[in-house]
Every structure is written in structure tokens, then in C-alpha cells.
Structure 1
């Protein structure tokens, strides 16, 4: 809408759109990979989805540039600020805080950014292991499980 320098075509949520009055030129930025401290799966995900500078603001601006409206909370006038992050099944939802009052066309219908399908990569330069010993023995059984090294060695 007007505070986002855009126009919203009236209609229901399924057949309306927001388009910029002055379109942004340039390319969509490519974000670099993030190093997140170790932890269990949910802890690592939580750190990622609560990272304002590296995830919330860039994805909010992407949504904003694509024409989505209300990509911010009621207590801030800026894109990507005052955002709530909630767990939703195996993923997370980032949405502008809707507490308190707001004014403007459809201001109560904040854009939702859904984050799911996490992928984890191991940095081969920092992963170290001892000598691998091959044996001529026959494999009897494969066991899958977690291994946790609580030491620095």
C-alpha cells in the first residue's frame, strides 16, 4: 500500500496483488551460507529463523520487492521489522506482529514467510578425523544412530 510505495488492487486475498509505484531496479541479492553454532536440530533452526540481519530482513525485502504487502509488524514502519517467528509443524512461519492496532487497507492480513525443508552441510575444511583403517572382514550388520563428541578432540 501507500506506506510501501505501492498500490494494492482491491479484491479478495485470492485475486488481488500489490505492485510498486516505482519498481526497484537491479538484481535479487545472493545470500552467502551461514555458520550457525552447533546444537540439536530445533536449536539450529531456531537460531537461523530468528536471525534478523541474515534471514528475516533479506527475505522480507524479497517479498516486498515481489509486491507482497504488510511485510512488517504493527510497531514498526519498516520492512522486516517487528516480526514474529512461530513453529509450524516441521517448519517455521515469519509474520509481522499483528498486536495492537493498525490502519490501512488489509493491514490485519500480514504476509507470512514459511521456512521449511532445512538442509545441513558439513564444512569439509573444518571436519577432521583420524586414520581410516580398512579391514578384510565381511559386513554383518549396519547400525544407524547419532554420535556426539562432547570433547574438543
Structure 2
């Protein structure tokens, strides 16, 4: 038997004011998107904002449906829109925030497994890491790339084995 240790580095901040101006703008855009999400069933509003290499910011928010599997997460809405509108432009960063009962959560919520996989594919597609900013009201967590959140990932190389 061999033991392997996987280490994830997470940078934690207490306030959005500690972030760079670029990251603050992205967080504010994610919060704006969360206000416009369609979540009548869960009442859990998620907003995402992507910073593209060309300086564009693309927003996404969760879109629920009474047939639950038919909805889509904020992160995937943003990534798929960015890939459709700017197919040759890499994603530099994503900010994600969540609110419920009219208030943003104190602690950041990470993306679900499906969104992590889509973000990983986007990193691989452009061969460029995507900084992930998870924003809560009292804590912000940042990782340098999606592989920090999905260390034992499945990618296109496994399809070739």
C-alpha cells in the first residue's frame, strides 16, 4: 500500500474589501446576478460572475424548474453563456455567492460536483487555470484553480486510456 496526500490551498479573507479591485468587482457582479436568480422552490439564490481574458464579465444565476432536474446552476449558466458568446476567450476567474431568505449567506458555498466538472473542462479547454472566488458575507475563500476543488478529477485524458 502507498499513501498519497492531496493538499488544497485555500486563501481566506474576512471582508470583500481585502480583495483586489478586480475581484471586488467580480464579487459585486455575482451578488447582482444572485438577486435575479429564479429560485421559487428552494428560495436559494446563487449568482456567478466570470471574468474573461478579454475583460468582459459574464453573469449567471440559478434557474429552477418545477421538474427539478430541468433547472441549472448559476456557474453552468455563466460558463455555457460565455462559451457560446465568446468561444475563443478563456475564463480567468469566477466569483460565486448565495443568498436565502433575502440575505447573503455568512459562509461561502462551493460549486456542486457537476459545476466543478464543467469548470474543469473549461480550464482544460483553454489550458488556463480559473481562479475561484467563493464569497460569503463574513468569509471569502479563494483557490487558484478548479483542480484545487476537484483534485481527483476526470478529464479527456482518461477517455484515451
TM class by smaller structure: under 0.3
TM-score (norm 1): 0.22
Q: Which has the higher contact order (CA 8 A, sep 6+)?
A: 2
More strand by share: 2
More helix by share: 2
